[in-house]
Amino acid sequence: MVWRPLNLAEVCPVHTHLSACSHFGYVYLHLLVQLFSGSSDRRIQEKLGYHESIEDEDRIVESIGSYENRKHSPEEYDFIVVGAGSAGCVVANRLSEHKQWKVLLLEAGQEEPDITMVPGLSTVLLGSNVDWAYSTEPDGKSCLASREGRCAWPRGKMMGGTSSINSLAYVRGNKLDYDTWAAMGNVGWSYRDVLPYFKKSERNLNIEGLDRKYHGVEGEQYVSRYPYIDKPSIMMTEAFNERGLPLNDYNGAYQVGAMQAQAISLDGQRVSTNTAFIHPIRYKRKNLTVKTNSEAVKILIDKYNRAYGVKYVKNNLIYTAIAKKEVIVSGGPINAPKLLMLSGIGPKDQLEKLGIHVVKDLAVGENLHDHVTFNGIIIALPNRTATTRENNEVLREVIDYAKKEIKDGPLSGNGPVSSVAFIKTEPYLPAPDVQYQVNNVKWREYIKEPTDYDRTTIFPTSFYDGLEPRTMNLVPRSRGKLCLNTTDPNGPPLLYANYFDDETDLIPLIKGVRFLLSLEETQAFKANGARFLRIQLPACRDHAWGTDEYIVCLARKYTSSPYHPVGSCKMGPKWDKKAVVDPRLRVYGVSGLRVIDSSIMPNVPRGNTNAPSIMVGERGVALVIEDWLYN
Catalytic residue ranges: 564
16/345 Cα distance (integer angstroms): 47
C-alpha closest to that of 478 among 460, 451, 496, 459: 496
Query: Cα 373 to chain center, whole Å?
Result: 15
Residue 392 has φ and ψ, to the nearest 5°, of -65, -30
The residue type found at 520 is E
| C-alpha to C-alpha distance for 282 and 275, rounded to whole angstroms | 10
5: three-class secondary structure by DSSP: coil
Residues 192, 198, 204, 206: is their CA dihedral positive or negative?
negative
What type of residue sits at position 5?
P
Q: How far apart are CA 248 and CA 244, in angstroms?
A: 11
Question: 392 with 376: CB under 8 angstroms?
Answer: no
The DSSP secondary structure of 122-180, one letter per residue, reads GGGGTTSTTB--EEBPP-SSS-TTSGGG--EE--B-BTTGGGGTS--B-----HHHHHH
Strands 379-380 vs 466-473: parallel, antiparallel or unpaired: antiparallel
Task: Give dist(CA 497, CA 500) in Å, integer.
Answer: 9
Other Cβ atoms closer than 10 A to 234: 15
